[in-house]
Amino acid sequence: MYKLLIADDEFEIRNGLSSYFPWEEIGFEIAGIVENGYEALSFINTHHVDVLLTDIRMSELSGIEVAKQLDEQKSPIHVVFLSGYKDFDYAQQAIQYGVKNYITKPTKYSELVTVFTKIKDQLDEKYVTIKTDFNYDKVIETILTYVYEHYQQASLEGASQLVHLNPVYISKYFKEKTGRNFSDFVVEVKMEKAAIFLKNPDFKIYEISELTGYSNAKNFTRTFRKYYGKTPREYRNEECGLHID
């Protein structure tokens, strides 16, 4: 089952989409339901999501802004917009962020089936391609999912316990199959999550340090600067136009 996140600031629509459509019949499972763009990004930071179905206009952070941030992070998540006919021209702006699917309000059963069946086919094809190109197997798949979902405390020991193999062997195997060191991959995931958090003005930098698994803010800053070439404060000010901390 592919994981679906629904974001809409209208309760009736959230409830209707999550409760009255047979998602499992076409290969999807509701991973979460949120009310706005900030909650969507926060959920994505801590859960695996394959597809985001989001209202294009929300009171806090629009669907377009969410799509933009995911695109900047090179996220593989498919974004589907819920939009009224009057919003179609507005929705077209998101083509530059990789959004290709739109569902009009009020939603029609047949339209949902058509759009999500197509997306499932694309995800299936991508999954097969990844397995072919990178020779990922169940072990690597499990480790990648573990890191994405538990990046705050992800460790080689934790991964090895999960797949019941020796840590030294796992380290070599991961490098062989992915071309990357396990520790470098964990840092990469943490830093990409940190960059997303920095775009949310509600988070202080020391809070982002904790959210990404760094108990020492100085270590977090040092690692972030090494990865992005600038401190978290500089990244927030220069990339996001936010002057908060």
Q: What is the pLDDT of residue 182?
A: 94
Contacts of 119 (CB under 8 A, 6+ apart): 51, 78, 80, 101
Cα(168)–Cα(226) distance, integer angstroms? 26
Q: What is the pLDDT of residue 183?
A: 93
Q: What is the pLDDT of residue 28?
A: 94
Mean pLDDT per 10-residue run, the chain (245 residues)?
Answer: 91 88 92 93 87 88 88 86 71 72 84 92 74 63 90 92 85 86 93 88 89 92 92 83 54
Q: What is the pLDDT of residue 185?
A: 93
Q: What is the pLDDT of residue 191?
A: 93
For the packed helices 167-178 and 182-198, what is the interaxial angle rounded to 10 degrees? 70
CATH class of the domain whose range is 138-239: mainly alpha
CATH number given to 2-131: 3.40.50.2300
Say what the pTM is. Answer: 0.55
The H or E element containing residue 28 is: strand 28-34
| Domain spans in the chain, listed from the N-terminal domain onward | 2-131, 138-239
Cα(163)–Cα(167) distance, integer angstroms? 10
- Over residues 97-154, the pLDDT tens digits come to 778 788 888 888 889 999 999 999 888 877 655 655 444 578 888 899 999 989 999 9
